[in-house]
Amino acid sequence: MAGAVPRLSDDPALRAARDALAARPLSALFEADPQRAQRLQCAGAGIDLHYAKQRVDDDAIAALVAFATRCGLHDRIRALCDGETVNSTEQRAAQHMALRAQPGEIWMAQGERVDEAVLSTRERFLQFAEDVRAGRILATDGGPFSDVINIGIGGSDFGPRMVCAALAPMAHGPRVHFIANVDAAEREQVLSGLDPARTLVIVTSKTFRTQETMANAQSVRHWLVANLGEAAVARHVAAVSTAIDAAEAFGIEASRVFGFWDWVGGRYSLWSAVGLPIALALGRAAFEQLLAGAHAMDDHFRCAPAAQNVPVMMGLLAVWNRNLLGAQSLVIAPYAQRLQRFIGWLQQLEMESNGKGVRMDGTPVPDATTAALWGDVGTNAQHAFFQMLHQGPDAHPVDFILPIQPDHDDHEQQRLLIANCLAQSAALMHGRSVAQVQSALEASGMTPQAAERAAVHRHLPGNRPSSTVLLERLDAWHLGALLACYEHRTFVQSVLWGINAFDQWGVELGKRLADDVDAALRGERAAGLDAETDLLIQRVLNSAA
Ligand code: F6P
């Protein structure tokens, strides 16, 4: 039960494990235990988690697993899988796993079977994608679509945009473009390269009322109508939404509106018709592989015991770092250029899910919740913020994510990429003591006095934790497994904090106030917020005048 969730940082076994490790740096743990690297790893659904460079030992893992058991993790996973009302503030299930359903399986959401609707909707949007790709669905002039624009934001953008980028070498359909920002600069940039006669537009919005998406959808609709006439809307626009009536009211033909369900959170939705841009770019087979990889991870998550369960262990390590070691952030460092957009997707997934301060029972969370997630791809990140990771005063744990096999033929550069990834986690862990630096400098000819002065600046404290997440290659199946793994990791943390990972009330106020400020900018009424906001509005109005 949520109300019974104990306080992590007060747990005697966790505190004892943490205190016992305080005087034992990672390098000492490795020296004392030749089997450490062998033992502190687990694998499932093609994802290997190596966590020997985390500041844990067997006692810490046992205490974390025991704590998770006291929080009812096993029952909460079962409740999630069974489609129970885990999103208690919105009275909904969070049944994104059903979107990965394979034929013949039974999936429920709040007591209703959902697998048939999932499979039939999947068939509809995959068939639509195949028909567009094969030139069976055509533009108003009878020619094929060469380009697709997805208009959506947040969960209606991050997932499909990230998957299309990650699997770009497999794309052999129409080019897919994305417009999310209400800053028209993004829209202008996308439209400037496109021929409306060859462009299919998808408006993706769970609610079909998100300000940014509706503004961009109206503008792109004008662009189509101005160039091709009103009739083009029916042939050139499709929609993905739970609000089917609103999509049809926008003028989109019913056969081109693809639904999903309120038990799918926006940030968990790429597996639904929200993934239509993926299917258009990559085709049915790749989309089904993506689902199959995620489904394999779902099975692993549901069945593997905690200590061998990759997403469970990732979630436990996350709360360990956050609540026992006080880490403020988690760095995501994929050593794969094509995973650059994975970071943005994961930021929404984790911080919109777990950026909460109140437990499901309405009481304040007594522990800190989500760490801030940030990062960039290696090796670029090494030349940006890794200096801070090595020598800054705070330890920021890192998830190194490494697909081993490249999808190009440059094996030499792939070797260099891998070398850098493995070297960075080793450098963070080992560090370099003042004495080591000093003797190296003296050996290179420096005087002892100069070496002593220089060593203070050049030493690295080490003992900085990281995990290494390996996948064989970045194909659709492994990507699906990786994404599902991070989805489940997010849920595990929420269980240990006793919070609801599936609502997002925090984003509502800003949306409402943006409407008030917009009215003030249009001169309709005062925003009535505060003196500085009024001053800023006035400054903007003066600039416009
Ligand atoms: O950022 C808030 C949010 O509600 C997200 O949860 C969601 O993914 C995004 O806005 C877009 O919402 P919609 O798909 O309804 O347009």
Catalogue the E-assigned strands of 371-487: 372-375, 398-405, 466-473
The pLDDT of residue 436: 96
Q: Is 507 in the pocket of ligand 1 (CB under 6 A)?
A: yes
Query: Residue 418 C-alpha to ligand 1 middle, in angstroms?
Result: 36
Q: Is 266 in the pocket of ligand 1 (CB under 6 A)?
A: yes
Active-site positions read 352, 383, 511
Measuring from atom 16 of ligand 1, which residue has the nearest CA? 205
How many CA atoms, within 13 angstroms, populate the side-chain half-sphere of residue 49? Answer: 26
Contact 99, 108 (CB under 8 A): no
Q: Is 156 in the pocket of ligand 1 (CB under 6 A)?
A: yes
Q: Is 210 in the pocket of ligand 1 (CB under 6 A)?
A: yes
Q: Is 272 in the pocket of ligand 1 (CB under 6 A)?
A: no
- Mutate which of 87, 90, 156, 242 to test ligand 1's pocket (most atoms within 8 Å of Cβ)? 156
With a cut of 60, say whether residue 323 has pLDDT above it.
yes
Length in residues, the chain: 545
Query: Residue 504 C-alpha to ligand 1 middle, in angstroms?
Result: 9
The pLDDT of residue 4: 60
Which of 1-5, 47-51, 60-64, 68-72 is predicted with the least confidence, judged by mean pLDDT? Answer: 1-5
DSSP letters, 401-413, are: EEEEE-SSS-HHH
Q: What is the pTM of this model?
A: 0.97
Catalogue the E-assigned strands of 316-389: 329-334, 372-375
Which strands form 199-204's sheet, in the order they lie side by side? 175-179, 147-151, 199-204, 237-241, 257-259
Name, in order, each residue with C-beta under 8 angstroms of 138's C-beta and a sequence gap of 6 or more. 144, 145, 235
The pLDDT of residue 2: 42
pLDDT band at 1 (very low <50, low <70, confident <90, very high): very low
Query: Residue 181 C-alpha to ligand 1 middle, in angstroms?
Result: 12
Contact 292, 284 (CB under 8 A): no
DSSP 8-state code for residue 461 = -
Q: Supply 265's token pair.
A: 């959170």
Mean pLDDT of the chain: 96
Query: Residue 94 C-alpha to ligand 1 middle, in angstroms?
Result: 15
Q: Supply 465's token pair.
A: 């934790």
Q: Please, what's the largest Cα pairwise distance for the chain? A: 82
Q: Is 159 in the pocket of ligand 1 (CB under 6 A)?
A: no
> Cα(110)–Cα(407) distance, rounded to whole angstroms?
42
Which strands form 47-50's sheet, in the order they lie side by side? 41-44, 47-50, 466-473, 398-405, 329-334, 372-375
Catalogue the E-assigned strands of 207-302: 237-241, 257-259
Query: Residue 101 C-alpha to ligand 1 middle, in angstroms?
Result: 24
Contact 121, 258 (CB under 8 A): yes
Contact 314, 49 (CB under 8 A): yes
pLDDT 10s digits, 179-223: 999 999 999 999 998 999 999 999 999 999 999 999 999 999 999
Report, as an integer, the average pLDDT of 305-316: 98
Which of 335-349, 483-497, 509-523 is predicted with the least confidence, judged by mean pLDDT? Answer: 509-523
Q: Name the β-bridge partners of 279.
A: none
Q: Is 154 in the pocket of ligand 1 (CB under 6 A)?
A: yes
Query: Residue 161 C-alpha to ligand 1 middle, in angstroms?
Result: 15
φ/ψ of 272, rounded to 5, equals -90, -160
Q: Indicate the SS3 state at residue 148.
A: strand
Sign of the C-alpha dihedral computed for residues 51, 52, 54 and 58 taken in this order: positive
Measuring from atom 3 of ligand 1, which residue has the nearest CA? 154
Query: Residue 162 C-alpha to ligand 1 middle, in angstroms?
Result: 16
- Mutate which of 90, 151, 153, 350 to test ligand 1's pocket (most atoms within 8 Å of Cβ)? 153
- Mutate which of 504, 505, 508 to test ligand 1's pocket (most atoms within 8 Å of Cβ)? 504
Q: Is 155 in the pocket of ligand 1 (CB under 6 A)?
A: yes
DSSP 8-state code for residue 414 = H
With a cut of 90, say whether residue 525 has pLDDT above it.
no
> Cα(541)–Cα(523) distance, rounded to whole angstroms?
9
> Cα(35)–Cα(30) distance, rounded to whole angstroms?
8
φ/ψ of 508, rounded to 5, equals -75, -45
The pLDDT of residue 445: 97
- Mutate which of 89, 207, 346 to test ligand 1's pocket (most atoms within 8 Å of Cβ)? 207
Contact 330, 397 (CB under 8 A): yes
Query: Residue 249 C-alpha to ligand 1 middle, in angstroms?
Result: 20
SS3 content of the chain, % helix, strand, coil (to 5): 55, 10, 30
| Nearest atom in ligand 1 to 152's CA | 16
